[in-house]
Amino acid sequence: MSRYASIWFPFLLTEHAVRKQPELRGNALVLASRQRGRMVIESVDHLAMAKGIQAGMVLADCKAIFPELQVLDAESGRAEKLLNALAEWCIGYTPFVAVDLPDGLILDTSGCTHLWGGEAKYLESIKAKLGSYGYTVRAAIADTIGTAWG
């Protein structure tokens, strides 16, 4: 029977930015882009989210809520490039990995998990390794992709 793992990176782009610019660590961070003549939030980190800031909000409104907010320009296509790199890394866990835009991966775990001592240890290994790289990860394994994702 096939089994699938869904890996979700809730703060993928902001955590990647912090990896590249460690001086941003500890500050509420968002990535924004110009849309229809105004700057709009595309990605938030956990600190910005805790202040009530969400993707889709206008940057000016967010700065009114939290003036110390750190803002970086969002790069078009960055999530796809980053997820493709993470998918290649996941080949160490299974040869069958798919990018699940905008912020996830799907792994076919069939015949692989026993090498880690079972599904729980398999997922823990993935989460621990990605966590050591600075990524927050949510993951689950199920019989179908939809169930693993949900």
Measured CA to CA, the distance from residue 109 to residue 127 in angstroms comes to 15
Domain over 4-11+78-149 is classified CATH 3.30.70: yes
- What one-letter code names the amino acid at 134? G
Measured CA to CA, the distance from residue 8 to residue 43 in angstroms comes to 14
Per-residue pLDDT of 90-127, as tens digits, reads 999 999 999 999 999 999 999 999 999 999 999 999 99
pTM: 0.91
Domain map (residue ranges) of the chain: 4-11+78-149, 13-73
Please report, to the nearest 10 degrees, the dihedral formed by the alpha carbons of residues 16, 22, 28, 30 taken in order.
-40
User: How many residues does the structure list for the chain?
Assistant: 150
Q: Which pair of structure tokens corresponds to residue 34?
A: 């110009």
Res 150: pLDDT: 76
CATH C-level class of 13-73: alpha beta
Report yes or no: 37 and 103 within 8 Å, Cβ to Cβ.
Answer: no
